[in-house]
Structure 1
Amino acid sequence: MADTEFKIFAKRLSTKYRRNRKVEAFAKELFEKIYLPESEDDPVDETLPRTYKAYYYGQNDISELASKISGSLDTGNFAEYIQTDSDDTIEYPCDSFRPWFPDIDSSNYCACIAERFKDIIDHAAAPKTKDTTLAATSGGVPAIQMATLKEKYGIGLVAETGSVCPNDGCQKSLFTYRADL
């Protein structure tokens, strides 16, 4: 199973912030620190521990929870949660999130990481639509071409591999692209 954005995010933070807590408690705490409830109904509190565990391990995506909380996110509170005083411990989060924020440093790492989490939630909450120009999960293969490939090779290949090489670490597209003439 492919890594979800939240799984990657949570694993990078867990090295420093999880300590000895269970993964479900840690995952729930991440959502509690960024979500600012607007009513008595609190979807973060109502979500089951096993669901948070599945989020952490990437077995479930966070779309359902994200759609319930995306309008009430507080990145400032989350930034305070991940703030640390030790220069030694700031280096790891900065290095971990540099792929998304090349200019991340000790002065802005809290805001950058909070913004990344907000982006993950917003992306998961966004309505999923079928794109007729490019298939989002197919590495950019046009949807019409994907339909033809599905008919020719079966849905199993496309679904199982996501149109990328299934060999460990390869992730190359199974299809070649040619320029339109």
Structure 2
Amino acid sequence: MVESYTDAASLDMLRWLIGKRIESYGAEVEVDEGVGAFAGWLKLSRGWVDVSFDVEVTDFPGFESFEPLLQVTPSMTERDGDPYPLGAEVTGVTRIQEQLIQFHRPTDKVDWSWWRDAGLRFSLSDGRELVFHCPSTRTPEVHMRLGSKVTLPAPVRNTFQSGRLRRFEAYRREVLL
């Protein structure tokens, strides 16, 4: 099984965020409303926190692939992009983890299985949630959603590729930090 989980420094940064007030959030480059290319940011009272999906080499059985890896880093540099006002404290952080499994057809033997951190769910003091999610394993875009209960689209299941020689299934779980 291949795992692409967030590194220890990013997890420490997420723990540090609990109890901090987020003034606003956004992305330096928005490809669509609420969708940032590669990264989004959180504006705190002092400084910023970047939530990015940096493309890195991931080792799979028999091959390597460039995949988005979740990183959370502090910054004191002012961010570009239009801010979305927020004004609430972080009361909890949940990691959104997704699994992709490749099956070889027609035997349905598992070729490989990959778990990755695909996003973050920030619980806020006003009862809302802010979700940063990278739904694609191929395109490092950050979908930013704010609401009272943010639901994510279901992962795609039973996707076929290469003349139906490979089949993919996807699953999601959420793990409280």
With normalisation by structure 1, the TM-score equals 0.22
More strand by share: 2
More helix by share: 1
Higher RCO (CA-CA < 8 Å; seq separation 6+): 2
Larger Rg, first or second structure (1 or 2): 1
With normalisation by structure 2, the TM-score equals 0.22
